[in-house]
């Protein structure tokens, strides 16, 4: 069974890949590649965190997912500013929800680490 963070990151990846296909069709290859990489990396890091070797490793992998979300936001902003391709409100909402979920996990995990160690 997938966690909420996994479900939301998978939804984000699908939307980013679809937008990347649209960008590639309009010959915006660099943006398409960067968006597809960062947008799919979020979920890959979340899944990898499930198998972390320690609590610190879990937090580290979730922080990487958080960084990939920030990078994805950057690429989406750049697409909106430079391309004749609409970034949907639905995609931006999925990104926002993913960021909130991952940030909450990071903060809670850090607090739990301080309380319980390791």
Rounded-to-integer distance, Cα 41 and Cα 77, Å: 18
Q: Pick from 19, 23, 63: which is nearest to 41 by CA?
A: 63
Residue-range domains of the chain with CATH: 4-116 (1.20.1440.60)
Q: What is the pLDDT of residue 108?
A: 97
As a whole number, the mean pLDDT across the chain is 96
> Residue 115: pLDDT above 60?
yes
Chain segment 70-98, per-residue pLDDT in tens: 999 999 999 999 999 999 999 999 999 99
> Residue 118: pLDDT above 70?
no
pTM over 0.85: yes
> Residue 62: pLDDT above 70?
yes
Rounded-to-integer distance, Cα 13 and Cα 38, Å: 9
Average pLDDT, integer, range 92-108: 98
- Cβ atoms of residues 116 and 30 within 8 Å: no
> Residue 1: pLDDT above 90?
no
Please classify residue 12 by burial: count the beta carbons closer than 10 Å to its beta carbon, then call 0-12 exposed, 13-18 middle and 19+ buried.
Answer: buried
Structure tokens at 79: 């697409």
């Amino acid at each position: 069974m997938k966690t909420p963070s996994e479900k939301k990151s998978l939804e984000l990846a699908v939307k980013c890949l679809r937008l990347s296909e649209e960008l590639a069709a309009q010959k915006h290859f660099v943006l398409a590649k960067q968006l597809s990489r960062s947008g799919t990396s979020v979920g890959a890091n979340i899944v990898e965190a499930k198998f972390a070797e320690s609590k610190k490793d879990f937090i580290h992998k979730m922080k990487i997912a958080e960084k990939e979300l920030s990078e994805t936001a950057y690429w989406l902003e750049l697409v909106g500013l430079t391309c004749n391709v609409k970034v949907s409100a639905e995609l931006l909402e999925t990104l926002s929800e993913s960021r909130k979920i991952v940030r909450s996990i990071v903060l809670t995990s850090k607090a739990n680490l301080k309380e319980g160690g390791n």
